[in-house]
Amino acid sequence: MTTTFDTARRQAVRTRAWRARATSLAFVLPAAILFGVVVLGPIVLNLYYAFTDWSGIGPNFNFVGADNFVRMFGDPELRRDAQNTLVFTLASTPLQILIGLGLALALQKPGRLSNSLRMVILMPIAISGVVLGFLGSLIFDPRNGLLTGLADATGIDWLGQNWLGDPRLAMVAVVVMNLWQWSGLTMLIFISGLVTQPAELHEAARIDGAGAWKRFRHVTLPLLAPAVTINTVLTVIGGLKVFDIVYVLTKGGPAGSTETVVARAALQASFGQYGYSAASNLSLTLVIIVVSFALLRILRRRELAA
């Protein structure tokens, strides 16, 4: 008697659990499929095409083994683009973190002035790449730009250079415009990290006689570790896949001095070397995945240590 009752009950519990799981799956499925088809599927397809010599047009192609990957290593343009991407990322990340952190510390307390400043500083994230291109030439144009005007007015001649047209300077201009646009978001994430810090810890440190710097170094900063992690990962990933800002400011020029890997991928897809560009796209995707996970690991470990 009891055993049949037990099995029946167990059965009922199991059916209910199964039904709950099916419901969850039904909730997740539409989003999972669309995301899979639009984002993951094509990236996995790159994995297939990367081993072919498909031009991108027509039905015919051959498997060429690892040829595309071998060719990548001897491709001076790809090396240059990889270098540019790296320079952009390594220059942007620390600067954006420092500026964002400085602004967040200054504006962490809400108030009318600080709220307005936050809003203005965050505003550029809403500005489109194309309009950013207009603003770029408005600032950097060697004849009509604001910097040239500033150079004329102050006599500091080096400000009035051909920022976007000089292969040695164009990357500086791209990094500056990127900071102009994104430092506000970094600031916002740091502010989120600051407002969630318990006030008691700061108070206790103050009572113990810790000065402002000590309190920052030993209380604020360790508690800010998760925000540092998120900001670093976001900035590095954003840097490795930068495209819009390069496309609208310089189109990768002059002489390829600002062309990044994603910009090349977008421009090269039409050049009839589909298999080859799939190989480089796939490589960059893998680099980004590896770098992101490595960064997350390292930073999370430091969070725990701190």
Partner 1 sequence: MTTHHATRLPQARMSSTAHARSIAVTVFRFILPTVWAVMILIPIAFMVFGSLRTRQEYALDPRGLPSDPQFANYATAWIDANLATAYVNNIVVTVAAVLGVIALGSLAAYGIARSAGPFSAAGYAYFALGLIVPFQLGLPALYKMAVRVGLVDNLFGVVLVHIGTQLPLAVFLYSGFLATIPLELEESARVDGAGTFRVFRSIVFPLLEPVHATVVVLTSIAIWNDLIVSLFFLQSEGNLTLSRTTLSFMSLYNSNIPVIYASGVIVVLPILVLFFVMQRYLVAGITQGALKG
Binding mask 94-123 for partner 1 (x = CB under 8 A): -----x--xx-xxx-----xx--x-xxxxx
Binding-site member from 13, 41, 221, 272 for partner 1 (CB under 8 A): 41
Six-digit token string for 277: 């560009």
Position 23 contacts partner 1 (CB under 8 A): yes
Binding-site member from 16, 192, 297, 301 for partner 1 (CB under 8 A): 192
Binding-site member from 53, 67, 75, 244 for partner 1 (CB under 8 A): 244
Q: Tokens 């796939």 label which residue?
A: 282
Binding-site member from 28, 156, 255, 298 for partner 1 (CB under 8 A): 28
Six-digit token string for 188: 């916002």
Binding-site member from 8, 12, 13, 20 for partner 1 (CB under 8 A): 20
Q: Tokens 């102050």 label which residue?
A: 154
Between 45 and 70, name the residue whose CB sits nearer to partner 1. 45
Position 130 contacts partner 1 (CB under 8 A): yes
Name the β-bridge partners of 63: 52
Between 6 and 19, name the residue whose CB sits nearer to partner 1. 19
| Count of residues interacting with partner 1 (CB under 8 A) | 90
Position 227 contacts partner 1 (CB under 8 A): yes
Position 87 contacts partner 1 (CB under 8 A): no
161 secondary structure, DSSP code: S
Binding-site member from 7, 8, 15, 35 for partner 1 (CB under 8 A): 35
Query: Residue 18's CB: how many other CB atoms inside 10 A?
Result: 10
Position 162 contacts partner 1 (CB under 8 A): no
Q: How far apart are CA 170 and CA 248, in angstroms?
A: 12
111 secondary structure, DSSP code: -
Cα three-residue angle 91-97-99, rounded to 5 degrees: 95
Q: Tokens 């791209």 label which residue?
A: 174
b/e 264-295 (16+ beta carbons within 10 angstroms → b): bbbebeeeebbbbbbbbbbbbbeebeeeeeee
Between 120 and 255, name the residue whose CB sits nearer to partner 1. 120
Site residues (CB under 8 A) for partner 1, limited to 163-182: 180
